[in-house]
Amino acid sequence: MAKVGTVNKLQIVKQVDFGLYLDGGDLGEILMPSRYVPDAFKIGDELEVFLYLDSEDRLVATSEIPYCEVGKCAHLKVTSTSSFGAFLNWGLPKDLLVPFKEQLIPMVVGNSYVVFLYIDVTGRIAASSKLSKFMKEEDGYNFLKNQEVSLLIARRNDYGYKAVVNNEHMGLIHNIDILQPIEVGDRMNGYIKNIREDGKIDLILQSQGGEAIYSLSEDILKWVRAKGGTLDLTDKSSPELIYEAFKVSKSNYKKAIGKLYKKRLITIEKDGIRLA
């Protein structure tokens, strides 16, 4: 069934002077205005379209695909404000409304915010920066430790960065685990570091699994050999120096050189590591 606020594949049922009508199932026939009609088509063809309400609140189909769909999050810029709320550029001619009551903090023209798209009580598409209303922050037990996940960095707080996990949950990257520059709106892959007793999720940007440690230990060994048999990074070196060299956490670096030490491939000395 066709859904408002998402991309749908709909069949052309007839042509009129002002566009095409598409089969919207339970939504009835949906107009695709002439400006969106492809150069070549025939009745019965399926078109990939986005459904939304135009400026006159008519349900229409467009070939223009916005930056985000209903049920998902995006980082969008405020273009204007009014007595109704803030309006965001989401890639369609009609800007997207964030009502005042759905703003976590008052929105400012020119700034960008991570928002969740939803259908309001009138059937219109709207957005909210109050992500916790739509995303779970607890009950993360369906995730596994060290599971790879997709992240959207949502906001900064005193403890680190809150992030949207797989577009369905909220998690936290603690300050101690932030080893690279990140900003609100960044999309990246990350990993589940821990599921706390209350079901909240701790995140990390580098894998801590055995395969990752094995790969890192191989990289370190190659590096030591390339440097003539020594490397001036120990398990006591700063996280910044370790990240600069290998783009990994200090914890993972310590595990990797510990693995090499146990295999008697290196020795760990006060000023660095050496080939055994």
Give 115's strand partners.
74
Domain of 187 in residue numbering reads as 148-204
Indicate which CATH number applies to the domain containing 77.
Answer: 2.40.50.140
* C-alpha–C-alpha distance, residues 98 and 86, integer Å: 5
| Residue 2 maps to a domain | no
Q: Give the total residue count for the chain.
A: 276
Task: For residues 214 and 266, state if they share a domain.
Answer: yes
Task: For residues 178 and 233, state if they share a domain.
Answer: no
pLDDT at 271: 81
| Residue 224 maps to a domain | yes
* C-alpha–C-alpha distance, residues 273 and 233, integer Å: 7
pLDDT at 139: 84
Burial (CB count <10 Å: 0-12, 13-18, 19+), residue 203: buried
| Residue 247 maps to a domain | yes
| Residue 56 maps to a domain | yes
Domain count, the chain: 4
| Residue 142 maps to a domain | no
**Model pTM score:** 0.78
Q: Which of 105, 132, 159 is the last residue of a domain?
A: 132
* C-alpha–C-alpha distance, residues 235 and 248, integer Å: 13
Question: Which pLDDT tens digit goes with each residue over 215-241?
Answer: 778 888 888 888 788 888 877 888 878
